[in-house]
Amino acid sequence: MVTIAIIAVTLAGVLALFRFGGWEERVVGGLVLALLVLVRVMEPIQIGAWRVGVAGLEVAFLIAILWLTYARDRWWLTALAGFQLISVLTHVMPLLAAGRYFVWTAVTIRLEVWLLICITFFVGAWEAWAARRFALEGGNHAQDKHRSSLVDLDATQRP
């Protein structure tokens, strides 16, 4: 039941990214959809209690998010990268606590962090919508350099 709820919240967040976001939000949405499928494929790849396949996917997702964070001026991507880093670090727990039973601790932390990640999807959709609206209303925004073709000044606003 909890898994279905988490998947529903994830899909709602991804739909919000696709509906209201720019290309960077859509890239994240596509990556998340791919991640949902690939996690099931990579789950069986393990070394002892360490889920190497899933850990590799999480690291790849983190690298993609970090690239987007540094390439674009989106604040929500910074939060997303931070939450994803926490998720990646939980994959180190089986290596540091060899012989101890911390598997469910790591899984619980990842589930909770994933909910925070889903919240950032909604924040990202809002930020993209707000940036677009701000640009249309004539505001001077740092993202205008990336989206200069979005707003064309009419004759009354030209110098």
pLDDT digits (tens, 9 = 90+) for 107-126: 788 889 999 999 999 999 99
- Number of domains present in the structure of the chain: 1
Residue 156 lies inside a defined structural domain of this protein: no
Cα dihedral 20, 25, 30, 35 sign: negative
Residue 50 lies inside a defined structural domain of this protein: yes
Structure tokens at 30: 């596509």
Residue 70 lies inside a defined structural domain of this protein: yes
Question: At what angle are helices 52-71 and 75-90 packed, to 10 degrees?
Answer: 160
Band (pLDDT 50/70/90 cuts) for residue 148 is very low
Residues in the chain: 159
Closest CA to 157 of 142, 131, 124, 135: 135
Residue 145 lies inside a defined structural domain of this protein: no
Residue 26 lies inside a defined structural domain of this protein: yes
Residue 155 lies inside a defined structural domain of this protein: no
Band (pLDDT 50/70/90 cuts) for residue 1 is confident
Q: Are 71 and 101 in contact (CB under 8 A)?
A: no
Q: At CA 122, angle to CA 36 and CA 41, rounded to 5?
A: 5
Distance separating alpha carbons of residues 5 and 114, to the nearest angstrom: 12
The residue range of the domain holding 46 is: 2-140
Type of residue at 145? K
Residue 130 lies inside a defined structural domain of this protein: yes
